[in-house]
């Protein structure tokens, strides 16, 4: 595990975007696993800048998103489809046919998960998976539990997760109760994991995830088992590592 701590958000964003851009420059048909949430927004902004300056092209890249809410219309402003268009896809040359986000409105959600799994199995390996961290230690939408699932599946969201995400909705009652998420097994198969964590409110859970026992009660703790985990932190999130 390599941990990089940054004193400014800008440096962190540039470092994150730099790692992704360098991968795509050397491997134009790279497979990227993408995350949503507030954490990666600045990194996506830097990637868009790099694209606009002609430093990187995404036209041959394939992308797989980690998760999506169940039951939000695709064009709902808080759907992860909308998020990805707003923060990344509408600004770069990514090929729509190589962009995949779980469909949380599929008539048959089980079949949607199965087909997402089949597609991911068809890809030899995700080259780089971006990850944020939930306040309860979740990754994607893999919530703390007695056991975790390997592949993409339907989850019921923890109250804590819905509370954390209520800031994006008129009220907590508007936050979806379920989501589709890649499983921890799928996440761990990526060649490289880029975990990005910001803010004092994540310091404790981050410290527990990276230095505490490996337990399904803290899904991010399983990242300790990955041979190529790179962690980008701001000073507030990294407070307990000093």
Q: Which CB atom, from 30 or from 35, has the smaller least distance to ligand GLP?
A: 35
By CB under 6 A, is residue 165 in contact with ligand GLP? yes
Query: For helices 80-87 and 41-52, what crossing angle results, to 10°?
Result: 40
Q: Which CB atom, from 37 or from 183, has the smaller least distance to ligand GLP?
A: 37
By CB under 6 A, is residue 219 in contact with ligand GLP? no
Among 16, 33, 102, 134, contact with ligand GLP (rule: CB under 6 A): 134
Q: Which one-letter DSSP state was computed for residue 41?
A: H
Q: What span, in angstroms and rounded, lies between the C-alpha atoms of 50 and 70?
A: 33
The two structure tokens encoding residue 106: 């599929």
Q: Which CB atom, from 62 or from 161, has the smaller least distance to ligand GLP?
A: 161
Q: What span, in angstroms and rounded, lies between the C-alpha atoms of 166 and 199?
A: 18
The two structure tokens encoding residue 39: 């954490």
Report the Cα 227 to chain-centroid distance in Å.
18
- Give me the residues paired with residue 197 across strands: 233
Residues ≥6 apart with Cβ < 8 Å to 90:
none
By CB under 6 A, is residue 35 in contact with ligand GLP? yes
Q: Catalogue the active-site residues.
A: 67, 136, 138, 143
By CB under 6 A, is residue 13 in contact with ligand GLP? no
Q: How far is the CB of 136 from ligand GLP (least distance, A)?
A: 9
By CB under 6 A, is residue 83 in contact with ligand GLP? no
Q: What span, in angstroms and rounded, lies between the C-alpha atoms of 179 and 242?
A: 36
By CB under 6 A, is residue 144 in contact with ligand GLP? no
CB contact at 8 A, 83 and 36? yes
Among 37, 137, 183, 238, contact with ligand GLP (rule: CB under 6 A): 37
CB contact at 8 A, 233 and 198? yes
Q: Binding segment for ligand GLP among 33-41, 46-54, 87-95, 217-225 (CB under 6 A)?
A: 33-41
Q: Binding segment for ligand GLP among 5-13, 29-37, 88-96, 228-236 (CB under 6 A)?
A: 29-37
By CB under 6 A, is residue 141 in contact with ligand GLP? yes
By CB under 6 A, is residue 129 in contact with ligand GLP? no
The SS3 call for residue 69 is strand
Q: Which one-letter DSSP state was computed for residue 154?
A: E
By CB under 6 A, is residue 39 in contact with ligand GLP? yes
By CB under 6 A, is residue 66 in contact with ligand GLP? yes
Interface residues toward ligand GLP, by CB under 6 A: 35-39, 66-67, 132-134, 140-141, 161, 165
């Amino acid at each position: 595990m390599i941990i990089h701590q940054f004193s400014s958000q800008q440096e962190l964003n540039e470092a994150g975007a730099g790692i992704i851009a360098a991968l795509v420059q050397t491997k134009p048909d790279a497979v990227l696993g993408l995350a949503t949430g507030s954490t990666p927004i600045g990194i996506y902004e830097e990637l868009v800048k790099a694209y606009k300056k002609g430093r990187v092209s995404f036209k041959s890249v394939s992308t797989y998103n980690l998760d999506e809410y169940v039951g939000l219309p695709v064009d709902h402003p808080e759907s992860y489809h909308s998020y990805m268009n707003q923060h990344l896809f509408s600004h770069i040359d990514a090929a729509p046919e190589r962009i995949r986000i779980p469909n949380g409105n599929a008539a048959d959600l089980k079949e949607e998960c199965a087909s997402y799994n089949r597609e991911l199995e068809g890809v030899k390996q995700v080259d780089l998976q971006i990850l944020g961290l939930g306040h309860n230690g979740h990754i994607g939408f893999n919530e703390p539990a007695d056991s975790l699932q390997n592949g993409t599946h339907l989850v019921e969201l923890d109250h804590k997760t819905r509370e954390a995400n209520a800031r994006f909705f008129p009220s907590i009652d508007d936050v979806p109760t379920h989501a589709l998420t890649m499983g921890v097994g799928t996440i761990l198969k990526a060649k490289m994991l880029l975990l990005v964590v910001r803010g004092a409110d994540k310091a404790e859970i981050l410290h527990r995830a990276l230095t505490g026992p490996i337990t399904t009660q803290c899904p991010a703790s399983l990242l300790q088992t990955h041979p190529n985990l790179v962690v980008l932190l701001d000073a507030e999130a990294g407070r307990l590592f000093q």
